[in-house]
Amino acid sequence: MNPYLKRLDELEAARKAWRESEWVLSFLRTISSTPPPEPTDEEILQWHLKRKSS
Amino acid sequence: MAPEAKIVLNSETRNIFSDETPHSAAAWFAKRFPQQSEIFGCPFVELNEECEERQRLTPIHLNADFFAAVLGGDERLGHRVIYCEPEMQWFFLDSDGMFKPTTDEKLGTLLRGLLMKCAQELPENVSKLNLCVEFRSDKKIREIVNRAKSILAADHTFFAPDSAHQRTQGPELHERLARVFIQQVLEKKPGEVVTLNAAYLLFLEFLKGKQMEPLKRCVFKPMIAPLIREQFDLGLRNDLLGENQRQTSGWKNLRAMDFTVIQN
C-alpha cells in the first residue's frame, strides 16, 4: 500500500478514536474557560498508537 | 400467521473490530464494552419476534451490573472512572493523565448519551422505545450509578502519595510535592541548620511556583518531619537557636539550597 495512503488511513482511524474518546470525556468534565487544545495529526497518531499497544 | 416470539440473550458480535453495525442493542454494547460483557453478562434481555420472515428485536430488560461496569470506561480509549469510597467521590482519568472529580449526575448523563447513541445507530427492526425512554429514566439511571459505586470502588491506597495515580486535587498532593521539595531543595550538610520556620516559608514559595494553594503550618510540620527523617535520617530538634538567639525547632546538619536558582 502506498505509504501516503496508509498514513491517511491510520490518521482517519486515529481521529475517529480520538473523537470517540473526547465525546465520552465531554460528559464527565466540568466546563472550563480554557478548552483542551486541538491536538495535531502527529499527537493524535501517537495517542492512537499508545492506546493500541497498551 | 401469529408471530413467533422468544426471549433472547444475544450479545454476540461477528467481529468487535469490524465497522459493521451490530444487529441488536445487546450486540452494540457488547462490541463497545467486550470486557464488561464478558464479566457481567449480556447487556439486555431482548424479545425476538419473527413474523413472515421479518425479525423484530425489542430490548425489554437492562442488566444493571453490566451498565454499572460500563461507567468504569473503555480501557482501549484509555478511559477510567473510579469511586473513591473513603471520600465518597467519583474521579475520571482525563486525557492529560490526571484523575479529576466528577459527579453522579454527569455519569448518569453519560449513560443516557450512550443509550441514545445506541438507539440512533441500530437498524429499523430494533425497537427504540425502551432505549430512549424507559432505560434512560431517572430511576433506572440512579439505580445503575448507585450500583457502580460498589463495582468501581477504590480504597484510600488508590491515590496514596506513592501510588502511580495522580489527581488534580487531594490531600496527598502536598505530600507528593513535599517529597520533591526535599529532593530538590534540601541537602545534608554538616554544621548547617534549617529551622522549621525557614523550611515552611520555602515550601510555601515552592507551592506558589507550582501554582498550588498554600498549606497550613500545623499540617506542614507533621508531614515534613517523617519525610526528612526518611530521606536524610535527621530528626526534628527543638533545641536549636534561631537568628534572634531564641530556641526554635529545626534540623541540624541540613541545608536549604538557593531556591530562586531551582525555581528558574
ipTM of the complex: 0.85
- Test B94 with A25 for CB contact under 8 angstroms: yes
Identify the band that residue B102 occupies on the pLDDT scale cut at 50, 70 and 90: very high
Q: The cell 539550597 sits on which residue? A: B257
Provide the phi-psi class of B21: left if phi over 0, else alpha when psi is between -120 and 50, else beta: beta
Nearest to B110 among A28, A47, A51 (CB): A28
Beta bridge partners of B61: B45
- Chain center to CA of B95: 12
Closest of B173, B248, B167 to residue B215, by C-alpha: B173
- What percentage of chain B has pLDDT greater than the value 90? 66
DSSP tag of B75:
G
Q: Average pLDDT over chain B, rounded to whole?
A: 89
Q: Which of A16, A22, A27, A28 to mutate to test the interface with B (most CBs of B within 10 A)?
A: A28
Please answer whether residues B100 and B159 qualify as being in contact, where contact means their C-beta atoms are separated by less than 8 angstroms. Answer: no
Identify the band that residue B14 occupies on the pLDDT scale cut at 50, 70 and 90: very low
Mean pLDDT of B11-32: 75
* Cβ neighbours of B235 (radius 10 Å): 11
Q: Average pLDDT over chain A, rounded to whole?
A: 87
Residue of A nearest to B102 (CA): A28
Cell digits for B249? 525547632
Put simply, whether the predicted model's pTM sits higher than 0.90 gets the answer no
Q: Which of B95, B109, B136 to mutate to test the interface with A (most CBs of A within 10 A)?
A: B95
Distance CA B12, CA B137 (A): 27
Nearest to A28 among B77, B78, B106 (CB): B106
